[in-house]
């Protein structure tokens, strides 16, 4: 049986304001070939996890959607319309413990003033192996200095744009090196983020993550984990980290909305310790969170 798929189109007026959404057939073509989403990757997106019909961290995702839109000078996505569209799709996926919805806003068809918007939902893959056995990670030089977001904002470092070809290439490079995932490092030696995830490190009773100011995406999963950290006797802190810090850490994870917390099992072929108990607590919490 094929996975259920659901789609809504978010409609806009010529001022770029969302006017509402309509259900659409995901099996039919819906986007024009001249939409800059297809021709230039010129747009923004979010991927929101759905737990048994409940969108998780929806407000945080929609805030980040708006932040990315601002960075690209796109019209501000209306949080009410988009939240309504995501909830409608989430309800259709309520029979599934884990699902996801992707929201997309593009600059629209070349030469026309209307943005294009849609939200698409389907069920999640099975990430039990990654969440328990962990993942092998390789460090990849992103080729940008850690201050690139400040010196060169046109690079859109830290925006969740549709131009993810580089992120996909990094994932393929990781696979070529027989690893499961990549972790980007700035050209001046600071740990950044995975192609689709945030780095979280445990050092003693602290959970640490690199600052968004380094030109990385502020992660919604990381924020929720840091809010829950006191329940596990831990304290969250944002700080710069180096590969040496990672090597010396008590444990590390790549965390994200759909895969949740994947413990790091090795870095560049060197085994690292997995904190199985904390991984299980994190993933239990992430599966159940409702906000
Ligand atoms: N960093 C990048 C580049 C991402 O693409 C993602 C998510 O897809 C994340 C971090 C993690 O963000 P979140 O926890 O909000 O899913």
Domain 128-288 has CATH 3.20.10.10: yes
Look at residue 289 and tell me whether its pLDDT is greater than 90: no
Which candidate, 125, 162, 251, places its Cα nearest to that of 199?
251
219 pocket-lining for ligand 1 (C-beta < 6 Å) = yes
User: Which sequence spans correspond to the domains of the chain?
Assistant: 5-123, 128-288
Domains 5-123 and 128-288 share a fold: no
CA 260 to CA 246: how far, in whole Å? Answer: 20
SS3 222: helix
Ligand 1 center to residue 81 CA distance, Å? Answer: 23
| Average pLDDT of the residues in 137-146 | 97
Model pLDDT, residue 192:
98
Q: What percent of the chain has pLDDT over 90?
A: 96
CA 261 to CA 247: how far, in whole Å? Answer: 19
Q: Which residue has the least CA distance to atom 4 on ligand 1? A: 196
196 pocket-lining for ligand 1 (C-beta < 6 Å) = yes
Strands (E), the chain: 5-12, 18-24, 43-51, 54-55, 98-106, 116-123, 135-141, 181-185, 193-194, 197-203, 206-209, 235-238, 251-256, 260-267, 270-271
| Average pLDDT of the residues in 238-249 | 98
Residue 86: other Cβ atoms inside 10 A: 24
Phi/psi at 79 (nearest 5 deg)?
Answer: -65, -30
| Average pLDDT of the residues in 243-260 | 98
Look at residue 184 and tell me whether its pLDDT is greater than 90: yes
Q: Which residue has the least CA distance to atom 2 on ligand 1? A: 196
Looking at the CA of residue 257, tell me the nearest atom of ligand 1: 16
* pLDDT-based confidence at residue 113 (cuts at 50, 70, 90): confident
Name which CATH class applies to 5-123: alpha beta
Model pLDDT, residue 81:
98
Q: Based on C-alpha coordinates, what's the Rg of the chain?
A: 19
Model pLDDT, residue 262:
98
Average pLDDT, the chain: 97
Model pTM score: 0.97
Look at residue 197 and tell me whether its pLDDT is greater than 90: yes
Contact 130, 180 (CB under 8 A): yes
Which candidate, 291, 259, 46, places its Cα nearest to that of 171?
259
* pLDDT-based confidence at residue 71 (cuts at 50, 70, 90): very high
Contact 254, 209 (CB under 8 A): no
Model pLDDT, residue 291:
54
CA distances, 31 to each of 21, 105, 122 (Å): 15, 12, 19
* pLDDT-based confidence at residue 181 (cuts at 50, 70, 90): very high
pLDDT tens string 72-94: 999 999 999 999 999 999 999 99
106 pocket-lining for ligand 1 (C-beta < 6 Å) = no
């Amino acid at each position: 049986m094929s996975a259920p798929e659901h789609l809504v189109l978010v409609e806009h007026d010529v001022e770029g304001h969302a006017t509402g959404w309509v259900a659409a057939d995901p099996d039919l073509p819906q986007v024009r070939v001249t939409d800059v989403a297809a021709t230039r990757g010129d747009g923004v997106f979010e991927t929101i996890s759905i737990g048994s019909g409940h969108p998780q961290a929806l407000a945080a995702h929609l805030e980040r959607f708006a932040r990315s839109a601002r960075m690209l000078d796109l019209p501000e996505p209306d949080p009410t319309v988009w939240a309504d569209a995501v909830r409608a799709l989430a309800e259709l996926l309520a029979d599934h413990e884990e699902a996801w919805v992707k929201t997309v806003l593009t600059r629209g068809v070349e030469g026309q003033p209307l943005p294009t918007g849609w939200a698409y939902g389907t069920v999640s893959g099975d990430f039990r192996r990654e969440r328990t056995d962990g993942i092998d990670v390789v460090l990849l030089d992103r080729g940008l200095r850690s201050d690139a977001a400040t010196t060169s904002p046109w690079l859109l470092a830290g925006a969740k744009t549709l131009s993810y070809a580089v992120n996909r290439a990094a994932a393929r490079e990781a696979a070529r090196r027989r690893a499961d995932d990549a972790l980007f490092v700035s050209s001046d030696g600071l740990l950044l983020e995975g192609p689709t995830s945030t780095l979280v490190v445990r050092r003693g009773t602290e959970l640490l993550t690199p600052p968004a100011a380094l030109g990385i995406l502020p992660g919604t999963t990381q924020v929720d984990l840091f809010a829950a950290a006191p329940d596990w006797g831990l304290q969250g802190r944002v700080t710069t980290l180096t590969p040496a810090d990672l090597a010396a850490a008590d444990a590390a994870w790549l965390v994200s909305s759909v895969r949740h917390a994947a413990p790091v099992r090795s870095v560049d072929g060197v085994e690292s310790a997995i904190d199985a108990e904390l991984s299980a607590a994190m993933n239990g919490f992430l599966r159940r969170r409702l906000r």
